Amino acid sequence: MTAGFEAQYGRATGGVVNLITKSGGNEFSGTVDVRYAENGFNENGDHFDRDENVTEFTNPTATLGGPILRDKAWFFTSGEWVDTSLTPTGAPTTRKFEGINYLGKVTWQVNPSWQAVLKASGEDSDIDNDDSDRTIAAEATTFQEQATDIVQVDVSGILSQRDLWDLKAALYRAELNAFPQSGDLQTPGHVDFFTGEQ
């Protein structure tokens, strides 16, 4: 929903998104998806040389869902691995991103009127030479590690023909750390004002 939504969505200025993740069912099912790309798949042109901007992308994902207790409780899981490399034109280093994304969900139909959901999701990734660029010397790039974990509980039910109950609680943890890629915490950085190189 974009601008013009009801007051119940407090402190929202641009839009509201309601996302419902998949749930398992009474049959086991899953998916596997693997994607790969690299600059060798690109075509050279009059103003483009694919070998000047080296890239590689690998992205396998998988899901699995099914019953824990038929007609009563179900599970759903998904996982994704992301591995990308990018060497910008003229850069002395390669930016390498490696990370995982995960989701685990259990749905329990307590009775026809009540349902409980427990969900955990998050991501964990490391980035070598995060700021790789032609203006950043190899010894001046940054290593970055980041992680996010979210645990959610949702209990919803019908109290009467006119009343609904929906209780949500969540724990959110995020971390972002950045260090010199070289590990050298003593040498001060500087910028060459004539070349712009860091």
What string of pLDDT tens digits covers the 198 residues of the chain? 666 666 666 666 667 777 778 888 899 999 999 999 988 888 888 887 778 778 899 999 999 999 999 999 999 999 999 999 999 888 999 999 999 999 999 999 999 999 999 999 999 999 999 999 999 999 999 999 999 999 999 999 998 888 888 999 999 999 999 999 998 889 888 888 888 888
d(CA 80, CA 34): 10
pLDDT at 1: 66
Query: CA torsion 66→67→72→74, rounded to 10°?
Result: -40
Q: Residue with structure tokens 């998988």?
A: 62
CA dist 87 to 45, 51, 55, 139, Å? 19, 10, 6, 15
Buried-exposed string 131-162: b where 16+ CB fall within 10 A, e elsewhere: bbbeebeeebbbbbebbeeeebeebebeeeee
For residues 132 and 105, is the Cβ–Cβ distance under 8 A?
A: no
CA distance 37 to 30: 24
What integer pLDDT is reported at residue 12 of this predicted model?
A: 64
Predicted confidence at residue 18, as pLDDT, reads 75
Q: Which helix (H) or strand (E) holds 32?
A: strand 29-38
Distances 58 to 41, 99, 105, 143 between C-alpha atoms, Å? 14, 11, 26, 20
Look at residue 4 in the predicted model and tell me its pLDDT. 66
Check: pTM over 0.85? Answer yes or no.
Answer: no
The pLDDT value given to residue 151:
97
